[in-house]
């Protein structure tokens, strides 16, 4: 293990995540109340959105920003298609659940992205602020792509309720879910306020950020192991895909980011976004659109397997890949 990888693994945020996993595995009674965990999640999204907006207010919008957003949208549409095919033919999963899982892998994990930005910054390859907008824009196309695949398969398989569900409620969940509203809203506020407007609230959103991230990852470590312990629907092929998806998708994201001219840090961040899988926004949309899908499959794959893989291995892997491609 090289010095950079060791430094990443020994960072406080990663160590708190490992502590949470260890505590849950040892059946400790350590727990963080759900209300506090939700408050920490809101804080992290607001902080990353504000700082991204302020960064863009300094640099301005240019072709690089637009290309980065376009790349993210393309990934959001394309990744579910390949994930769906792999789930159908390798894991032999039915069309309904394949579409639901595929939507998760086309979407993103905010916590993985936030952790990656801190690690990239420490390694000297900070991601540009506009990557926050890219992250928020990847949610919707992934959900739409996954739903289209699932509904098409359900129609072929003769599901009577293939087109059921309130379109208005689904569109509301897709376009106005909490993470999208908070990320894009905070990003816009940061961009409008600029460095001078951000200065009075900077102590709250900068000084406390690392500490809140550590506590949140501690809670995530507990949650990962507890959900894995309860998993009953996973098969070996699904576990294998939950480890292969982040590697393949992340490499594709880094390559695309490098191709459109993103700096090393931003190309690595795009790889992390492509490799991550949603476990907050997309499950909420799936409950509305595909209530028959099994959350024991899509939540366990995204949260209990792909998430820890990215936190412990993936971020460092895509950072190294971006540095190699960016030479």
pLDDT for 157-184, tens place per residue?
766 555 555 566 666 666 776 777 887 8
- pLDDT value for 161: 55
Residue 57 has pLDDT above 70, yes or no: yes
Give the range with max mean pLDDT: 5-9, 127-131, 230-234. Answer: 127-131
Residues 273-319 have pLDDT tens digits of 999 998 877 887 787 778 888 888 998 999 999 999 999 999 999 99
- Across the range 46-58, mean pLDDT stands at 85
Percent of the chain with pLDDT over 70: 91
This prediction has a pTM of: 0.85
User: What is the reported pLDDT for 27?
Assistant: 93
Residue 138: per-residue pLDDT: 86
62 burial class (0-12, 13-18, 19+ CB within 10 angstroms)? exposed
Tokens of 122: 């420490």
How far is residue 243's CA from residue 245's CA, in Å, rounded to a whole number?
Answer: 6
- The more confident residue out of 134 and 271 is 271
Q: State the Rg of the chain over Cα.
A: 19
Tokens of 13: 């945020």
Mean pLDDT of 14-25: 92
The stretch 75-97 carries a mean pLDDT of 94
Q: What is the spatial distance between Cα 56 and Cα 130, in angstroms, rounded to a whole number?
A: 6
CA distances to 79, 188, 243, 257, 302 from 271, rounded to whole Å, are: 12, 24, 15, 8, 16
Tell me the per-residue pLDDT of 241-264, one tens digit each, with 9 for 90 and over: 999 999 999 999 999 999 999 999
Average pLDDT over residues 91-98: 92
> At a CB cut-off of 8 Å and minimum separation 6, what does 248 contact?
82
Please state, as a whole number, how many other Cβ atoms lie within 10 Å of the Cβ of residue 39. 13
Report pLDDT digits (tens) over 128-163.
Answer: 988 988 888 887 888 888 888 888 888 777 665 555
Q: Which residue has the higher pLDDT, 44 or 172?
A: 44
pLDDT at 165: 53
CA atoms of 196 and 181, how far apart (whole Å): 24
The single-letter DSSP state of residue 177 is -
Distances from the Cα of 138 to the Cαs of 48, 168, 270, in angstroms? 16, 20, 10
To the nearest whole number, what is the mean pLDDT of the chain? 87
């Amino acid at each position: 293990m090289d010095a950079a990888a060791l430094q990443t693994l020994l960072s406080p945020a990663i160590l708190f995540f490992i502590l949470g996993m260890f505590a849950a595995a040892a059946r400790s009674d350590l727990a963080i109340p759900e209300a506090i965990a939700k408050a920490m999640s809101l804080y992290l999204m607001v902080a990353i959105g504000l700082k991204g907006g302020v960064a863009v207010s300094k640099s301005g919008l240019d072709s690089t920003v637009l290309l980065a957003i376009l790349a993210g949208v393309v990934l959001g549409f394309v990744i579910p298609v390949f994930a769906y095919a792999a789930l159908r033919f390798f894991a032999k999963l039915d069309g309904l659940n394949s579409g639901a899982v595929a939507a998760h892998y086309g979407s993103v994990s905010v916590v993985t992205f936030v952790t990656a930005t801190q690690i990239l910054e420490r390694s000297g390859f900070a991601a540009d602020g506009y990557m926050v907008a890219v992250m928020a824009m990847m949610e919707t196309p992934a959900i739409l792509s996954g739903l289209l695949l699932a509904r098409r398969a359900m129609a072929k398989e003769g599901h009577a309720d293939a087109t059921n569900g309130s379109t208005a409620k689904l569109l509301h969940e897709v376009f106005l879910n909490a993470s999208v509203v908070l990320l894009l809203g905070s990003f816009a506020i940061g961009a409008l306020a600029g460095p001078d407007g951000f200065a009075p609230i900077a102590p709250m959103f900068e000084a406390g950020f690392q500490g809140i991230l550590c506590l949140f990852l501690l809670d995530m470590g507990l949650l990962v192991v507890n959900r894995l312990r309860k998993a009953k629907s996973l098969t070996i092929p699904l576990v294998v895909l939950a480890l292969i998806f982040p590697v393949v998708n992340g490499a594709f994201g880094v390559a695309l980011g490098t191709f459109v001219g993103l700096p090393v840090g931003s190309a690595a961040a795009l790889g992390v976004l492509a490799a991550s899988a949603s476990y907050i926004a997309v499950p909420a949309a799936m409950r509305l659109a595909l209530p028959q899908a099994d959350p024991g499959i899509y939540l366990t794959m995204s949260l209990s397997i792909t998430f820890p893989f990215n936190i412990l291995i993936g971020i460092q892997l895509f950072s190294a890949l971006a540095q190699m491609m960016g030479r």
